[in-house]
Chains A and B, each alone.
Chain A
Amino acid sequence: MIPEDYKKVPGWGVDADPKNDPTYPMRLRDPDLPRGLSWKRPPLQVATVEILHSNERPGLSAVFGEASPPKGVSGVLRRYAFRHSESAYRHWLPLMAADRIGAIEGIFEDLGTGRVPNIIKEKGWGAEWKFNRKAFATRILLVTAVAGAGALAAWVSIRD
């Protein structure tokens, strides 16, 4: 039983389609369409930097982005990762590690170009201070207290 009120929602039922079965849009498959890797490929972009590609495909896709090519320690990890398939943790976990290392490398890269990154601004703490001051200040105090206690404990153990 459909409540009459719901039918008053603007647009109610305008796209209702009893043929919208769960296989859509696979039903668009045309037997004449190419199967497998047999379509006429677009012109291929020429790589001007190192582009890593999944080992589940024979080569590069026709287009790709050239942002942030692999470099440094993170780059070594990324090259290792791409030797393994998308089904393997040996692919994804090194990539996650490379992302973390890349963030540290980024700080050194900034410093190397004479730029001191404004991490407080980059993290948007100004917005937290403006809109979420009490919770934010509490969090900062908590982190400072825990770090201070840890430093004090370390100092005492070294002194002893």
Chain B
Amino acid sequence: MLAMDYRGARRVRAQQKPMPEIQHPRDVIVRVTRSCICGSDLHLYNGAVPDTRVGTTFGHEFTGIVEDTGGAITSLKRGDHVLVPFNIACGQCAFCLEGLFGNCHESNPGATAVGGIFGYSHTTGGHQGGQAEYVRVPFADVGPMIIPPDIEPDNAVMLTDVVPTGYQAAEMAGIQPGDTVVVFGAGPIGIMAARCAWLFGAGRVIVVDELDYRLDFARQYAPCEVHNFHTMKDPVLFIKKATGLGADVCIDAVGAEAAGRAMQSVLGRKLKLQGGSSTALHWAINSVRKGGVVSVVGVYGPTATMVPFGNVVNKGITIRANQASVKRLLPRLVEHVRSGIIDPKALITHRFSLEDVSNAYRIFSSKLDGCIKPLLIPPTAE
């Protein structure tokens, strides 16, 4: 089968690989119909995530048709069209039982800090991803959801990560009616977080980024105020002046590859001496009001990351962060898509055949051609 293949930092290609096989009674094999490239895949692509091995296939946002089922699977059958949450969850460990499906303890031998994720390095379990014609889906009796007939395929694939992660960013922020919410990052997750902030009753939503085309998109889609930090001398000072005491809530939707502060970029992005450049998190901590909430869905590496923690203590800030618990959120989010409150497919700006994966990654990574969200279509999709 054809699959994306990682060859080293900023080198990927499409190549033939062996078909995946059932390896556990709760597995299914899925023929992929759609697969997105996530902004967090770019951390892998750029070589920022430890234990990203040559020969692995990325892709944790995908939909597909069930082709084969393990002996213990009764909830799915061959031919079902499913959307597959990005996290792999057993449904019976202590964390899954708490609804923390992003923190399953039975799907990742490589690290205890994070559960299993499709195609996201051996630090999240060494599972092959969905940027392929076929993929093995473990614990398929827990994660995958049969796509309701009234949910369009492009919306379904966005429900595997982008919508739940953006929504959970707003949910974790504990937004109260009237709150001012500042979102750092106008990528797909940041745009979705800004959109979802309104659902929790925000009174003002501000998005900060460095790319005008993305800010223009966010202004239309969310809808919200947008600001390019390159036009500000000091983004924190700007937010303080714009909000009086600071934002009630700040959301970091950027993560490890943030631009904007030279020292962070050198230490975190170039030298990789910390778990990424924490510029967005730094700004979030310093821009939120005393007693406010900082919600983090931006992905960082597992090593130490430099942030102004003294200010967290002195301001009495609550920091909340996690990988999205997709399964927990899906029922509510499907309702929102169905009612038209959220229109996820509008974020998809580019479609590529799987064979063109090298260019797709480059265009997304280098922010070329107005790219917001790229979708890969395998040759066997139809």
Residues of A within 8 A of B (CB): 1-3, 6, 9-18, 20-22, 24-26, 28-30, 33-36, 38-43, 45-46, 48, 51-54, 56-57, 59-68, 74, 78, 81, 86, 89, 92, 95-96, 98-100, 102-107, 109, 117-119, 121-128, 131-132
- Contacting A at CB under 8 A, from B90-118, are 90, 92-94, 97-100, 105-113, 116
| The 8 nearest A-B residue pairs measured at CB | A124-B362, A103-B8, A65-B127, A11-B341, A65-B126, A16-B201, A53-B109, A68-B53
How many A-B residue contacts, CB cutoff 8 Å? Answer: 254
**Given known contacts A16-B175, A123-B10, what 9 new A-B pairs fall within 8 Å (CB)?**
A30-B97, A42-B139, A95-B51, A96-B50, A99-B47, A117-B13, A121-B358, A124-B359, A127-B358
Expressed in whole angstroms, the minimum distance between the Cβ of B120 and any Cβ of chain A is 10
Residue of A38, A40, A99 with highest tally of chain B CB at under 10 A: A99
- Return chain B residues, CB-CB under 8 Å to A126: 358-359, 362
- Contacting A at CB under 8 A, from B30-52, are 47, 50-52
A-B contact pairs, 17 of them (CB 8 A): A3-B203, A12-B199, A13-B177, A13-B199, A28-B99, A43-B24, A43-B25, A57-B112, A59-B109, A64-B109, A66-B126, A92-B50, A103-B8, A119-B11, A122-B358, A127-B368, A131-B368
- Contacting A at CB under 8 A, from B334-353, are 336, 339-342
- Return chain A residues, CB-CB under 8 Å to B157: none
In whole angstroms, how far apart are the Cα atoms of A99 and B127 in the complex?
17
Q: Indicate whether B272 reaches chain A with its CB closer than 8 angstroms.
A: yes
Q: Nearest residue in A to B26 (C-beta to C-beta)?
A: A42
Residue count of chain B within 8 Å CB distance of chain A: 90
Known: A22-B318, A92-B50, A127-B368. A16 touches B200 (CB 8 A): yes
Please tell me which one of the listed residues A26, A53, A102, A124 contacts residue B361 in the complex, with CB atoms under 8 A apart: A124
Q: Indicate whether B276 reaches chain A with its CB closer than 8 angstroms.
A: no
- Return chain A residues, CB-CB under 8 Å to B100: 25
In whole angstroms, how far apart are the Cα atoms of A14 and B338 in the complex?
14
A interface, over-half SS: loop
In whole angstroms, how far apart are the Cα atoms of A42 and B105 in the complex?
11
In whole angstroms, how far apart are the Cα atoms of A61 and B89 in the complex?
11
Beta-carbon contact of B363 and A127 below 8 Å = yes
- Return chain A residues, CB-CB under 8 Å to B139: 42, 63
Please tell me which one of the listed residues A10, A29, A67, A95 contacts residue B126 in the complex, with CB atoms under 8 A apart: A67
In whole angstroms, how far apart are the Cα atoms of A40 and B341 in the complex?
40
In whole angstroms, how far apart are the Cα atoms of A123 and B10 in the complex?
6
B interface, over-half SS: loop
Known: A64-B127, A86-B111, A96-B272. A123 touches B362 (CB 8 A): yes
In whole angstroms, how far apart are the Cα atoms of A125 and B358 in the complex?
9
Expressed in whole angstroms, the minimum distance between the Cβ of B100 and any Cβ of chain A is 7
- Contacting A at CB under 8 A, from B155-188, are 171-172, 174-178
Q: Which of B54-62, B78-86, B230-238, B253-261 lines the interface with chain A?
A: B54-62
Beta-carbon contact of B98 and A29 below 8 Å = yes
In whole angstroms, how far apart are the Cα atoms of A128 and B368 in the complex?
8
In whole angstroms, how far apart are the Cα atoms of A46 and B339 in the complex?
44
Known: A6-B204, A63-B116. A102 touches B362 (CB 8 A): no
Q: Nearest residue in A to B17 (C-beta to C-beta)?
A: A67
In whole angstroms, how far apart are the Cα atoms of A62 and B106 in the complex?
5
Known: A103-B7, A127-B362. A9 touches B50 (CB 8 A): no
In whole angstroms, how far apart are the Cα atoms of A67 and B108 in the complex?
13
- Return chain B residues, CB-CB under 8 Å to A67: 53, 55-57, 122, 126-128
- Return chain A residues, CB-CB under 8 Å to B52: 99
In whole angstroms, how far apart are the Cα atoms of A63 and B325 in the complex?
19
- Return chain A residues, CB-CB under 8 Å to B56: 67-68
In whole angstroms, how far apart are the Cα atoms of A81 and B303 in the complex?
14
